[in-house]
Amino acid sequence: MEHQVTRNPLGCEPVGKLMTKFAVPSIIAMIVGALYNIVDQLFIGQAVGTLGNAATNIAFPLSTICLSLALLFGIGGASSFNLSMGKGDRESAGFYVGNAAVMLVLCGTIIAILSEIFMTPMLLLFGSPADVLPYAEEYVRITALGFPMLLLTIGGGHLIRADGSPQLAMFCNLSGAIINTILDALFVMVLDMGMAGAALATIIGQIFSAMIVIVYLCHYKTVKLELRHLKIHWNYLSRVAAIGTASFFNQLAIMLVQVVMNNLLKHYGENSVYGASIPIAAAGIAVKVSQLFFSVVIGLSQGSQPIESFNYGAKQYERVKKAYYLALGAGAAISAVGFLLFQICPRQILAMFGSGSPEYYAFGIKLFRIYLLGTIVNFLQPITSTFFTSIGKPIKGTFLSLTRQILFLLPLMVVLPVFFGIDGILYAGPVSDGMAAVVTVIMAMLEWKQMNAEAKTC
């Protein structure tokens, strides 16, 4: 064990240096991933307008479903791999990566087929108003074809990072996003292809990124991947799925909140001065912009994952603790920046996505300042949830990942509008954020108390 820890840099290099090495590329990769949807919406907002912005928001739950599955097998496979390497079990490590990669492609293909077959009823379920539906259908009909590549790119990035190549994981996402941005400008603004142009640009970028992942997996560094590693084994796959469950349910919860929120905004918007489409369009912008900042926090948590997993497996608890606290400190700083921008510059942010009516700006500004008020504490839950997953405690990680979205936000979004109208949907955001932060702090303190007791017995 001591030889394994000394040989692997995860067990011996300074934690701060490792955090920089793993977290910075992970942050860039997550920002780039968030930019995929934002870039589309920027060009669509300028070329198509409010209905186009609303359409991308209606289609967004499908992307979230893909992300949830990518994290299920990507983070689950990466954490299982690093835990195995920390314990010196190289034989099992290869099966974790191979099984995860196969499931990424398989799940992406299934979601793509289901999306094409049941597209219209799904978009209606997601809350699409009648005037938005044609735009959403045009967009999804093309983007669904890229779902297998999307899952492989996102999930494969975690597998690449776990192999000690965070820079390549970053390049994988960055290259696809650059291609997407260039083609968006060409297809949407120059060739006037509208929703179809934005969708086509997206899947071309995803195909390029997915090819990089495939080539890398064929030349995996730490463990040589063979065909036998691609054969599904339930004992390995169940471990991957168990560890990735927290991230999976967290994204699934976000998707459920998106669907419920769209339907509530449609219902209460129709009974307000804003109408149905304006609240949905403004919410789509606010959610995606906030996810740009939130992706930095997620990148921090993902960057700390291999460090926490390896050192927990090697029983080096002080290094685990240091990685966790470094992630928290950086997360607090970025959350503070996001909070200030959302409170001070909401109109300027909305204007980047095209012009709108006075009602559009009035609701959008209110949404940014109220619904995103809890941004200041939003870094606590994802970093701590990933921490529990990294140390092989998926039940705690899963519970924590569900606190804000399912236990607090959903019930509040349903109940508060009964008393406050459409504004009640906005108030649900900061209240649920505060409640989730309290639960997170309590769970983290209890875990550190237990880990300190274990360290004394080593």
Reported as a single tens digit per residue, the pLDDT across 269-299 is 888 888 888 888 888 888 888 888 888 888 8
Report whether pLDDT(246) > 80.
no
pLDDT at 385: 87
The arithmetic mean of pLDDT across residues 433-446, rounded, is 92
Choose among 74, 71, 42, 76: nearest CA to 56: 42
| Per-residue pLDDT band at 36 (split at 50, 70, 90) | low
The arithmetic mean of pLDDT across residues 1-22, rounded, is 66
pLDDT at 231: 81
Report whether pLDDT(6) > 60.
no
The arithmetic mean of pLDDT across residues 332-355, rounded, is 90
Contacts (Cβ under 8 Å, ≥6 apart) of 22: 161, 166, 302, 303, 304, 305, 306, 307
CA distance 365 to 354: 14
287 against 149, higher pLDDT? 149
pLDDT at 455: 66
pLDDT at 394: 75
What are 257-274's pLDDT values in tens digits?
Answer: 888 988 999 889 888 888
| Per-residue pLDDT band at 141 (split at 50, 70, 90) | very high
Residue 449 backbone zone (phi > 0: left; psi -120 to 50: alpha; other: beta)? alpha
The arithmetic mean of pLDDT across residues 249-255, rounded, is 79
| Per-residue pLDDT band at 5 (split at 50, 70, 90) | very low
| % residues pLDDT > 90 (the chain) | 30
pLDDT at 424: 94
404 against 309, higher pLDDT? 404
Q: What is the DSSP letter of 276?
A: T
The arithmetic mean of pLDDT across residues 86-103, rounded, is 81
| % residues pLDDT > 70 (the chain) | 95
What are 39-85's pLDDT values in tens digits?
Answer: 777 788 777 777 887 888 888 889 889 988 998 898 888 888 877 77
pLDDT at 436: 92
| Per-residue pLDDT band at 212 (split at 50, 70, 90) | very high
What are 198-211's pLDDT values in tens digits?
Answer: 889 989 999 999 99
Top-confidence range, 151-160, 289-298, 340-349, 381-390: 340-349
pLDDT at 311: 77
User: Side chain identity at 387, as an amino acid letter?
Assistant: F
pLDDT at 247: 73
Report whether pLDDT(413) > 50.
yes
Is the Cβ–Cβ distance between 94 and 226 less than 8 Å?
yes
Report whether pLDDT(339) > 70.
yes
24 against 87, higher pLDDT? 24
What are 364-411's pLDDT values in tens digits?
Answer: 999 999 999 999 998 998 889 888 877 777 788 878 878 888 899 999
Contacts (Cβ under 8 Å, ≥6 apart) of 33: 154, 173, 177, 295
CA distance 157 to 212: 10
| Per-residue pLDDT band at 2 (split at 50, 70, 90) | very low
pLDDT at 110: 95
CA trace torsion 301, 304, 306, 307 (10° rounding) = -160
For the record, the structure tokens of 442 come out as 């309590």
| Per-residue pLDDT band at 316 (split at 50, 70, 90) | confident
The arithmetic mean of pLDDT across residues 156-167, rounded, is 82
What are 218-229's pLDDT values in tens digits?
Answer: 888 877 877 787
pLDDT at 140: 93
Quick one: CA dihedral 334, 337, 341, 343, positive or negative?
A: positive
pTM > 0.85: yes or no: no
